[in-house]
Amino acid sequence: MPPNKGISYRAIIPRRSPFPEPARVISKVGATLLLFGHDGQGKLSNYPPSRSSYRRTGNLGRKWTVSGPKVGANSIKVTIGNNADYAIWVQGPTEGPGRKQVSWAERYGWLSVTAVRKKVWPRYRLLIIKILSGK
């Protein structure tokens, strides 16, 4: 029988951590979401060209707000909102349950929150994926 040479183990230590610092990642994702919020707010605040003789007050555009980022146990959230009573009808969602943008508002060129999300979100989504993958 051959002599027992034994087994040895040697640790493989990476040159840099394969996991980024969570606090730094959360901060970067939050900042990127906030940029998304302000970009969306800017698009929603712009009025389409007027098609009627009524005088616009600018209230709808001024009432768009952005809050956050709010970090929860499993989420990071930025909220774009508008507290004008009629905002839901003029620029509300066009998909999903609940109240929706009315057809005349879309015909007149008012952007819905759904249209803004579809237009603006993809760029920020890619940035967030890069942050989360450590690139």
Tens digit of pLDDT for each residue in 9-23? 888 887 877 666 888
- What's the pTM? 0.79
The pLDDT tens digits for 93-135 are 999 898 999 999 999 899 999 999 999 999 999 999 999 887 7
Q: Tell me: pLDDT of 77 over 80.
A: yes
- pLDDT tens digits, 23-55: 888 999 999 999 999 999 999 999 888 877 677
Q: Which residues contact 61 (CB under 8 A, 6 or more apart)?
A: 44, 45, 46, 47
Whether 65 has a pLDDT exceeding 90, the answer reads yes
pLDDT score, position 2: 63
Write the burial class of residue 68 (CB in 10 Å: 0-12 exposed, 13-18 middle, 19+ buried): middle
Q: Distance between CA atoms of 108 and 68, rounded to whole angstroms?
A: 31
